[in-house]
Amino acid sequence: MSETANIRVFQGNLRGRKTTTKSGGPLFSFMGIPYARPPIGALRFQPPQRPEPWAGTRDAGELASICLQIDMINREIAGQEDCLYLNVYSPQLPSGQNTLLKPVMVWIHGGGFTHGSGNPDIYGPDYLVDRDVVLVTINYRVGVLGFLSLDNKAVPGNMGLKDQVAALHWVKENIASFGGDPNNVTIFGESAGGASVHYLMLSPLSKGLFHKVIAQSGCALNPWAFSLKNTARAFQLGQILGCKTNDPAELLNFLMKKDATQLVEVSHKLIHWSENLAGIKFPFVPTLEPNLPGAFMSEHPLHSLQTGRFHKVPFMIGRTTHEGIIMLRDMKENLWSKMNANFEKQFPEKLTNISYNIPTSIIAAKIRNFYFNNKPISENSVAEYVDFQTDLSFAEGIHTTLKLSIVQSNNPVYFYVFGFDGELGFAKQFSNSNIKGTCHADELGYLFRSHLIDIDVEPSSPEMKTINRMVSLWTNFAKTGNPTPYLSEHTPVIWKPCTNENVFYLNIDKEITMEKLTDVKREGFWEEMYRSKL
């Protein structure tokens, strides 16, 4: 039976739970804490507002609702519109004025900006809290409720990213009550969470709210993480629901009266796999806002990186070896025939935008020749398809971000490639593939104790060895800004930061090795595509 634990935050008193981690260490859990007012009624589609205080003691022993979405596993509607809550997990609460505050790690979940939550069904805190850090996991608005944009002052967009900023303000004001150091905060995330922490590096709204960043398998330059078509999709959504108009005010009035569940269900139908063969294209994601006070992002992220307009803090970024395996999960039976017939439908907005004066057929021919050697694409092309998706949807943007960050920042930039293909690989268990290599999100099972992967890990297993390594590297970075400040059993090599001359990376496999990026055929192909415009 768990004990209770009481603390005070600026809104009022909280009663949490004292239990133990899987290894038996102390774990103080405070869940379902509101960090903003419920974004309901007149606050729908609006930036988050400061949370209201409460009387008495609030029970923080249970999870709050996730944000309204189509669940990514069972494909059913889940969550509520009232969802701006976070969870705090600490190894030790303050016991006096001289208590040494611990490093804080704030996790931002993935899910294509369309689904997901910060809850422990996937992101259990045990491994990280055992390494003496305070962990915060958050919910933020997703899909149409988080990223609808009318490109005007009334609905500028990016509400979900502004939710993340509000959560970081809450952390700065309150985390010391949980034993965390507000002056040593690391933000980290995977997939859309990786893109989110990268966006937070670029946004003027988040200045001073964090001190280190870890972006896993996602960045602001990935094609699925940015769009200039949100407003067009908003009007398309209105038309499907019965409001055919070109007037933003009329559309907003119409959408405000609709049930939130209906908005989510219908907007989900705007997601296309077959029409965008390069992978899933989410209809409502981060976008540019009018350059007005309170804007999260009014400059293209690539331009911000090129000009050095971002928060220069220690930065870790990386990917898995075969990110593209995730694209096989919902593969349509007729994918291969569609790819053969319509290969030119592969490409992200930025490639078609810069190549406006070049026929799409020429772009398609070059890419098809590079990945598929101009052969018919079929069920025998799965390995080539995975490489293609890995690069187009993930690696190209990550490598561009890496190189620009090295050039523009005086702080260390660390790069990794995760290649351990073990039993705790998360996403690969839900994909339709036997391809060797690590899938998008496969590293999550080695950072978090996931309740969705019910595997008893033996202490001497390669999986436990990888857990110890990953958690050591990540928490060392959170504590010091250096993932290997010293050699140890779990970190037997020094992880070198990248330089202008050499792109070093930590190869995380059954063993960890320090490598230098020399075979850049695939990375160089995309770099040349964008630089020369063919």
Residues belonging to the active site = 191, 323, 440
Q: 20: which strand partners? A: 26
Distance CA 472, CA 480 (A): 12
Longest dimension (CA), the chain: 69
- The token pair at 267 is 């907007």
Q: Which residue has the tokens 């063969």?
A: 277
Quote the DSSP letter at residue 449.
Answer: B
- Orientation angle between helical segments 260-268 and 230-241, nearest 10 degrees: 110
Q: How far is CA 107 from CA 342, 359, 524, in A?
A: 39, 42, 32
User: Do 236 and 154 contact (CB within 8 A), yes or no?
Assistant: no
Q: How many residues does the chain have?
A: 534
SS3 content of the chain, % helix, strand, coil (to 5): 35, 20, 45
DSSP tally for the chain: helices H, then strands E:
15, 15
- The token pair at 201 is 């590096």
Per-residue buried b or exposed e for 138-157, using 16+ beta carbons within 10 Å of the residue's own CB:
bbbbbbbbbbbbbbeeebbb
Per-residue buried b or exposed e for 274-295, using 16+ beta carbons within 10 Å of the residue's own CB:
eebbbbbbbbbbbbbbeeeeeb
Q: How far is CA 463 from CA 159, 483, 492, in A?
A: 38, 20, 17
- Residues sharing a CB contact under 8 Å with residue 69, sequence separation 6 or more, in sequence order: 77, 78, 79, 111, 114, 115, 116, 142, 143, 264
- The token pair at 232 is 């067009």
- Residues sharing a CB contact under 8 Å with residue 426, sequence separation 6 or more, in sequence order: 122, 441, 442, 443, 444, 445, 450, 452, 453
**Quick check: helix, strand or coil at residue 327?**
helix
Per-residue buried b or exposed e for 166-183, using 16+ beta carbons within 10 Å of the residue's own CB:
bbbbbbbebbbbbbbbbe
Q: 506: which strand partners? A: 416, 514
Pairing mode, strands 12-20 and 3-9: antiparallel
